[in-house]
């Protein structure tokens, strides 16, 4: 807190928080020579801090990243994943939207349809997420798991239009967690859905071949618990 107060006395500290600059500032900070390798507990804490920063860009996305991470971790744990692997999935969930720091708030909060140009701004956040996380977690799969959350099994997702075989189990799990929570949350263009409505939308996506059927069934088996994580 004392360090924060000292930093906050400088106008440049707040200017660097501008959405137009903050992602560049984060990237540049990881290019310095005096980097410290964090253990898993510290990495989770730092990821949580960045997640809250991302989610605070809009009242409609408050707690989105933290809820997605909790859902992803819960589903991973119920499927038998343990230890550091579980922690890495949670970190990827916390940071899956970090690229949205580059997206203007007026686009995120827009109540109606967005333009083609605005959609391009939104869609690039997955690519930006991958770029920053590859610098933060070099040699680890966290960046790929996080940046693939808008890919789909029929190869029409973004940013890489990957076919299903190239989308890891962890990325598929985070994608389902992301969709589940998005539908459970109020957005500027619609109200939140109840758990039956959310489950129906997941089934629609599965039938279209967009998301993993096994993940959908995992959610169905634990629907009450997953919905509680999403909204309580």
**Which of the residues are catalytic?**
100
Specify the residue for token string 């990957």: 162
Whole-angstrom distance, CA of residue 82 vs CA of residue 223: 21
């Amino acid at each position: 807190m004392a360090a924060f107060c000292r930093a906050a006395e400088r106008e440049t500290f707040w200017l660097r928080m501008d959405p137009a600059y903050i992602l560049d500032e984060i990237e540049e900070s990881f290019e310095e020579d005096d980097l410290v390798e964090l253990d898993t507990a510290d990495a989770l804490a730092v990821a949580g801090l960045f997640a809250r920063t991302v989610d605070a860009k809009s009242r409609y996305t408050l707690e989105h990243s933290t809820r997605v991470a909790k859902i992803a971790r819960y589903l991973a744990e119920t499927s038998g994943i343990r230890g550091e692997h579980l922690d890495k999935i949670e970190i990827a969930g916390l940071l899956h939207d970090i690229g949205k720091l580059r997206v203007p708030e007026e686009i995120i909060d827009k109540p109606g349809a967005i333009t083609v140009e605005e959609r391009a701004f939104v869609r690039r956040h997955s690519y930006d997420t991958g770029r920053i996380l590859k610098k933060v977690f070099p040699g680890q799969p966290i960046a790929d798991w996080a940046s693939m959350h808008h890919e789909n099994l029929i190869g029409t997702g973004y940013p890489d239009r990957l076919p299903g075989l190239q989308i890891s189990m962890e990325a598929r799990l985070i994608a389902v967690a992301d969709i589940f929570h998005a539908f459970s949350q109020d957005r500027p263009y619609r109200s939140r859905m109840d758990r039956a409505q959310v489950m129906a939308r997941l089934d629609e996506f599965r039938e279209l071949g967009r998301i993993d059927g096994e993940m959908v069934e995992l959610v169905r088996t634990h629907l009450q618990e997953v919905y509680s994580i999403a909204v309580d």
